[in-house]
């Protein structure tokens, strides 16, 4: 008698609320798509920067006792984006939300997930801040390292974009049977192998590409001790030094001659290594070169470098907004992954199993 529409009932009793925590309009696009697929309106919220550059969040509807999903895509100003997310989550927590799930298709600082010299593991810090703010669940996509899930003390669903990219290869590359999946470095060979096995294609690995060698001379580890101490260690004992790596000349393991080369990776940001790989493949006889990646950060001059390179097409998903880069470079194509994110939200809200979204995904995928 009180509620004629079942959707209205869902909103009032328990209910699902979807917010986008972005102050930047282009970043809200993914949130709109997800809400549209779920058949709900985006929650009313104001997120803006004050004159002194402080972030202010004002939630304009009740979230008491509701399942709140905060969708946050990364903009150019990553640090502001993180603060928007933290303040939004904390605002929901202090407004008595039943649960707060963060939907971060690209997890920020995910490249800084290992200890380097005197640095720090920043992705662990970001994870701790999100948990402390009040996040109860995280949905993300293709983490740079799967072990990042262990930095959280809440459930993490690391979804995969590869089914969408595989579908693109099968539907948009007419002669894909004559393709070879390429890893631009041995580090991304596992991902390439995963693609190759699913498409029943061959694999090639580029080894020995020029990488930025980090200078060990400047960090003090080569400086001799000021005072020779004999108490701590026997004078005749010497700690063996690790032999420095010597990069071999560029070699391509696998045949790419007369084939379509599809380079796969998780992030495409600084495109120098992709451009260099494309040149190498072109020299080895590949007649068409595609680059496939989940997250298209495409920073600074990346669109111009792609446009001027031997790469024929760069295919990325819409985990990060890149409309401006597409205007600068028509070679960039987008695959929409809002479908899997909306299905994950629906399943979590309804208390359904998530394992359906992880079918056929092995330990190494």
Lowest mean pLDDT among 47-61, 100-114, 171-185, 213-227: 213-227
Q: Is the pLDDT of residue 64 over 50?
A: yes
Q: Name 223's Cβ contacts closer than 8 Å, sequence gap at least 6.
A: none
Cα 335 to Cα 76, 298, 317: the distances in Å are 20, 15, 5
Please list the residues that pair with 58 across neighbouring strands.
Answer: 46
Q: How many residues does the chain have?
A: 365
Sheet of 99-104: strand order equals 16-20, 67-71, 99-104, 137-141, 156-159
Fold of 14-158: Rossmann fold (3.40.50)
In angstroms, the CA 53 to CA 346 distance is 35
Give residue limits of the domains in the chain.
14-158, 161-207+250-334
Q: Is the pLDDT of residue 2 over 50?
A: no
Q: What is the 3-state secondary structure (H, E, C) of 51-96?
A: CCCCEEEEECCCCCCCEEEEECCCCCCHHHHHHHHHHHHHHHHHCC
Instruction: Tell me the two tokens of residue 25.
Output: 């309009």
State the pLDDT at residue 215: 44
In angstroms, the CA 89 to CA 96 distance is 11
Q: What is the pLDDT of residues 203-216, one digit of tens each?
A: 999 998 554 544 44
State the pLDDT at residue 238: 82
Q: What is the mean pLDDT of residues 164-172?
A: 96
Phi, psi torsion values for 291, nearest 5 degrees:
-120, 130
Q: What is the pLDDT of residues 220-241, one digit of tens each?
A: 555 555 555 555 556 667 888 8
Q: What top-level class would CATH report for the domain 161-207+250-334?
A: alpha beta
Q: What is the pLDDT of residues 285-328, one digit of tens each?
A: 999 999 999 999 998 899 999 999 999 999 999 999 998 999 99
Q: Is the pLDDT of residue 132 over 60?
A: yes
Pairing of strands 67-71, 313-317: unpaired
Going by pLDDT thresholds of 50, 70 and 90, the confidence category of residue 362 is confident
Same fold across 14-158 and 161-207+250-334: yes
In angstroms, the CA 23 to CA 25 distance is 6
């Amino acid at each position: 008698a009180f509620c004629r529409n079942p959707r209205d009932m869902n909103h009032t009793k328990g209910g699902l609320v979807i917010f986008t925590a972005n102050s930047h309009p282009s970043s809200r696009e993914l949130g709109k798509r997800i809400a549209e697929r779920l058949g709900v309106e985006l929650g009313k919220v104001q997120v803006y920067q004050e004159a002194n550059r402080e972030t202010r969040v004002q939630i304009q509807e009740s979230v008491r006792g509701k399942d709140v999903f905060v969708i946050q895509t990364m903009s150019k100003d990553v640090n502001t984006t993180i603060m928007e997310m933290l303040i939004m989550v904390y605002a929901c927590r202090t407004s008595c939300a039943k649960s707060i799930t963060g939907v971060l298709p690209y997890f920020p600082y995910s490249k800084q997930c290992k200890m380097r010299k005197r640095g720090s593991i920043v992705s662990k810090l970001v994870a701790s801040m999100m948990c402390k703010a009040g996040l109860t669940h995280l949905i993300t996509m293709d983490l740079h390292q799967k072990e990042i899930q262990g930095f959280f003390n809440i459930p993490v669903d690391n979804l995969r974009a590869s089914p969408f990219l595989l579908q693109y290869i099968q539907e948009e590359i007419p002669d894909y049977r004559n393709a070879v999946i390429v890893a631009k470095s041995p580090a991304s060979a596992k991902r390439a192998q995963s693609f190759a096995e699913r498409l029943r294609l061959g694999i090639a690995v580029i080894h020995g590409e020029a990488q930025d060698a980090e200078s060990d001379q400047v960090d003090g580890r080569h400086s001799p001790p000021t005072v020779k101490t004999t108490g701590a260690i026997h004078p005749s004992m010497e700690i063996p030094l690790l032999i420095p790596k010597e990069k071999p000349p560029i070699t391509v393991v696998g045949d790419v001659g007369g084939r379509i080369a599809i380079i796969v990776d998780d992030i495409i940001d600084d495109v120098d290594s992709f451009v260099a790989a494309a040149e190498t493949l072109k020299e080895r006889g590949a007649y068409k070169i595609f680059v496939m990646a989940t997250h298209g950060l495409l920073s600074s001059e990346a669109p111009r470098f792609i446009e001027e390179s031997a790469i024929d097409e760069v295919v990325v998903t819409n985990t990060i907004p890149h409309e401006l880069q597409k205007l600068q470079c028509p070679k960039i194509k987008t695959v929409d992954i809002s479908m899997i994110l909306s299905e994950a939200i629906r399943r979590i809200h309804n208390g359904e199993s998530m394992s359906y979204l992880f079918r056929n995904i092995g330990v190494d995928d």
